[in-house]
Amino acid sequence: MNRVLHTTLPSLLVIGALTACGTAEPAAAPPATTSAAATTTTTTPAGPPPVPEPTADGQCPYLASSFVQEANGQLAPRVRLSADRPNPACFFYANAKDVQLSVWVFQGDPETAKAVVDRAAPVASSNPATAPDGWTGGAVTTDTGAVYAVSKDGAAVVVTSNQKQTIKTRRIAETVVGNLGL
C-alpha cells in the first residue's frame, strides 16, 4: 500500500497541478480597438480628402464645355466626371487622353476646405487669390500649367489648367462659384 501511495501520489499532484493551470482565468488582453477608438475620437481634421479621379464620361453639371473651350483656349471634345456627389469633379480633355482643365468643388468644414486649397496652391508660396469677393486662396503657375484655388466658409474650388495663365483658371473659378451660388 505504501508503494501504491508513492507512485500514485506524485501522479495525482501532477494531474491536480495541470488541472488547476487549465482552469485558471487567462489574463485579459487589452481590447484591440482601444488605440483605434483614441484616433477616431480626435476633433482635429485628418487633412484634405484625396484628389478626385475621373470615373465616367458625362457633362459637367455646373460648367459648360463651350465656356471651358472659350476660357481655356482649347477644344474640349471629352468630359469625364468623378464619383463625388452632389458636385462631381469635372475633367475636360484636350484629346483622347490629356486633361486640359479640371475643376473640383469641395463642400465640408472650413478647415478642410482651406486644406484642400493649401494643398493645390500653397498659400505660403503662391500668389494671393481673392476672387470672387470674400474667397481666399492661392494662384500659381506650375511646370504643367496653372492652378487657382480658393475657399470660403466650408467650400473650396480648385481649377487646374494645362495653360500657364492663372487669369484663365481664375475666370473659370469665378464662373463655377456663380453657377453653383456658393
105 pLDDT higher than 80: yes
pTM of structure: 0.75
> Mean pLDDT across the stretch 74-86?
95
- CATH code for the domain in which residue 161 is found: 3.40.1000.10
pLDDT above 70: percentage of residues in the chain = 75
Q: Are 131 and 138 in contact (CB under 8 A)?
A: no
- Where b means 16+ CB within 10 Å and e means fewer, 8-31 reads eeeeeeeeeeeeeeeeeeeeeeee
The cell for 108 is 465640408
pLDDT value at residue 139:
98
Q: What are phi and psi of 27, to 5 degrees?
A: -65, 135
pLDDT value at residue 47:
83
Residue type, 136: T
Number of neighbouring beta carbons within 10 Å of residue 180: 16
| Residue pLDDT, tens place only, 66-75 | 999 999 999 9
Would you say residue 159 lies in a domain?
yes
| Residue pLDDT, tens place only, 117-169 | 999 999 899 999 999 999 999 999 999 999 999 999 999 999 999 999 999 99
173 pLDDT higher than 80: yes
- The total number of structural domains in the chain stands at 1
Would you say residue 68 lies in a domain?
yes
Q: Can you count the helices (H) and strands (E) in the chain?
A: 5, 8
Would you say residue 49 lies in a domain?
no
114 pLDDT higher than 50: yes
pLDDT above 90: percentage of residues in the chain = 73
The cell for 132 is 470672387
Would you say residue 1 lies in a domain?
no
| Residue pLDDT, tens place only, 16-33 | 333 344 444 444 444 443
Mean pLDDT of the chain: 83
111 pLDDT higher than 70: yes
Would you say residue 100 lies in a domain?
yes
State which residues form the domain around 124. 56-180
